[in-house]
Chains A and B, each alone.
Chain A
């Protein structure tokens, strides 16, 4: 069983829809990262969380440490949001453990 599980694996939405991607982890962590990767491209860090909630533009990330669960929300989704969204957790050292990613496609 992977230490970091994301759901769904694939998500298709219509422009304007509210989107939620979930991440569950089974190990103790010092921080959780949400990352975005466009096809063939590099990785952009969206959020780093150790507690609570963060908001940046149309993106919101929440984490519940007790339940070992985090969600990434996108409000008013747009085709340019189409990408792979990756949840990654950091334990007690420099190593990040990655989820398998969620492929989001937003259709106009």
Chain B
């Protein structure tokens, strides 16, 4: 199993809603990532978890709240989003290896989020 599975595939939410994005992998990877991608732009890193602990937060607004409940799951909780937060949200995972040159990333299919 070399898949990173993201649910839902599409999500439309209002600015007052609370919703969650889910990401799951069963490759034994201990690093998991959230990226945000706007149309025709490269992905932007949001968060990195390593061994279920938040290791990188790229100054993401608090209306995005990540959670890593176990080594296979990564959630992104959304609250009070703005229309400009509409984007493709990608999850990725990788092994934690040293040196890092051996760390291949596996990406999910993404969740297409629209905030209305």
Contact = CB atoms under 8 A, between A and B. Distances in A.
Interface string A81-108: 0000010101011111011110000000
B105 A33 contact: yes
Interface in A35-61: 35, 40-45, 48, 50
B34 interface: no
A86 B100 contact: no
Contacts of A33: 104-105
A38 to B, nearest CB: 10
A48 B102 CA distance: 8
A30 interface: yes
Interface residues of B, number: 28
B17 to A, nearest CB: 23
Contact of A42 (B42, B55, B107): B107
Contacts of B109: 41-42
A30 B45 contact: no
Nearest to B2: A45
Contact of A93 (B100, B102, B107, B110): B100
A99 B42 contact: yes
B99 interface: yes
Interface residues of A, number: 24
A43 B112 contact: no
B56 A45 contact: no
Interface string B43-55: 1010010100001
A31 interface: yes
The 10 A-B pairs of least Cβ separation, nearest first, read A42-B109, A98-B42, A43-B107, A30-B101, A50-B101, A31-B101, A30-B100, A48-B104, A42-B110, A94-B48
23 contacts: A30-B99, A42-B6, A42-B107, A42-B109, A42-B110, A43-B107, A44-B107, A45-B104, A45-B105, A45-B107, A48-B104, A88-B42, A90-B100, A90-B103, A94-B33, A94-B50, A94-B55, A94-B103, A95-B45, A98-B42, A98-B43, A100-B41, A100-B42
